[in-house]
Amino acid sequence: MSDSAHPAIHPAPTTFIRKWVFSTDHKIIGIQYYFLALIAVFTGLALSVLMRLRLAWPTESWPWLETIFPVGFEGGVMSPEFYLAMLTMHGTIMVFFVLTTAPQGGFGNYFLPIQIGAHDMAFPVLNMLSFWVTFLSMGVMFAAFFVAGGAPISGWTAYAPLSALGEVAGPGLGSGQDLWIISIALFCIASLLGALNFITTVLNMRAKGMSLMKMPLTVWTWFTTAILALLSFPVLLAAGILLLLDRLGGTSFFIPAGLVVSDTVIESSGGSPILWQHLFWFFGHPEVYIAILPGMGVASQLLSTFARKPIFGYHAMVVAVFAIGMLGFFVWGHHMFVSGLSPFSALVFSILTLAIGVPSAIKTFNWLGTLWGGKIRFTTAMLFAIGFVSLFVSGGITGLFLGQTSVDVQLHDTYFPVAHFHMIMGVAAIFGIFGATYYWFPKMFGRMLHEGLGKLHFWLTFIGVNAIFIPMHLMGIMGQLRRYAESTEFKFMEPLQPYQEFVTIAALVTAAAQLLFLVNFCWGMFKGKKAGENPWEATTLEWITASPPPHDNFGGRELVVNHAAYEYGVPGAPRDYVMQTDPPLETTK
Residue among 140, 121, 141 at smallest CA distance from 29: 121
CB of 478 to other proteins, least distance (A): 5
User: Is the Cβ–Cβ distance between 92 and 180 less than 8 Å?
Assistant: yes
User: Is the Cβ–Cβ distance between 103 and 433 less than 8 Å?
Assistant: yes
CB of 397 to other proteins, least distance (A): 5
Residue 494 burial by CB count (10 A; 0-12/13-18/19+): exposed, middle or buried?
A: exposed
Per DSSP, helices labelled H in 528-582 are: none
CB of 509 to other proteins, least distance (A): 16
User: Is the Cβ–Cβ distance between 368 and 346 less than 8 Å?
Assistant: no
Q: Distance (Å, rounded) from C-alpha 315 to C-alpha 92?
A: 35
Q: Distance (Å, rounded) from C-alpha 473 to C-alpha 479?
A: 10
User: Is the Cβ–Cβ distance between 372 and 303 less than 8 Å?
Assistant: no
Amino acid at 401: F
Of 117 and 395, which CB lies nearer to other proteins in the complex structure? 395
Cα 322–27–299 angle (5° rounding)?
A: 40
CB of 466 to other proteins, least distance (A): 5
DSSP bridge pairs for 260: 265
Q: Distance (Å, rounded) from C-alpha 417 to C-alpha 406?
A: 15
Of 183 and 487, which CB lies nearer to other proteins in the complex structure? 487
CB of 61 to other proteins, least distance (A): 19
CB of 177 to other proteins, least distance (A): 12
Residue among 391, 388, 385 at smallest CA distance from 421: 391
Residue among 149, 155, 144 at smallest CA distance from 172: 149
CB of 398 to other proteins, least distance (A): 7
Q: Is 398 helix (H, G, I), strand (E, B) or coil?
A: coil
CB of 585 to other proteins, least distance (A): 12
User: Is the Cβ–Cβ distance between 34 and 108 less than 8 Å?
Assistant: no
| DSSP per position, 201-240 | HHHH-PPBT--GGGS-HHHHHHHHHHHHHHHHHHHHHHHH
CB of 106 to other proteins, least distance (A): 27
Cβ–Cβ contacts within 10 Å for residue 177, how many? 30
CB of 158 to other proteins, least distance (A): 10
Of 2 and 398, which CB lies nearer to other proteins in the complex structure? 398
Which helix (H) or strand (E) segment holds residue 261: the answer is strand 260-261
Q: Distance (Å, rounded) from C-alpha 363 to C-alpha 359?
A: 6
Of 368 and 512, which CB lies nearer to other proteins in the complex structure? 368
User: Is the Cβ–Cβ distance between 447 and 524 less than 8 Å?
Assistant: yes
Of 58 and 108, which CB lies nearer to other proteins in the complex structure? 58
User: Is the Cβ–Cβ distance between 90 and 46 less than 8 Å?
Assistant: no
Of 83 and 198, which CB lies nearer to other proteins in the complex structure? 83
Beta strands 577-578 and 567-568: pairing type? antiparallel
CB of 99 to other proteins, least distance (A): 21
CB of 9 to other proteins, least distance (A): 35
Of 142 and 314, which CB lies nearer to other proteins in the complex structure? 314
Q: Distance (Å, rounded) from C-alpha 368 to C-alpha 424?
A: 18
From residue 570, alpha-carbon distances to 50, 539, 574 in Å are 52, 12, 9
User: Is the Cβ–Cβ distance between 369 and 300 less than 8 Å?
Assistant: no
Residue among 195, 251, 197, 206 at smallest CA distance from 228: 195
Of 200 and 339, which CB lies nearer to other proteins in the complex structure? 339
Of 349 and 517, which CB lies nearer to other proteins in the complex structure? 349
Of 357 and 446, which CB lies nearer to other proteins in the complex structure? 357
CB of 132 to other proteins, least distance (A): 33
Residue among 571, 434, 235, 308 at smallest CA distance from 426: 434
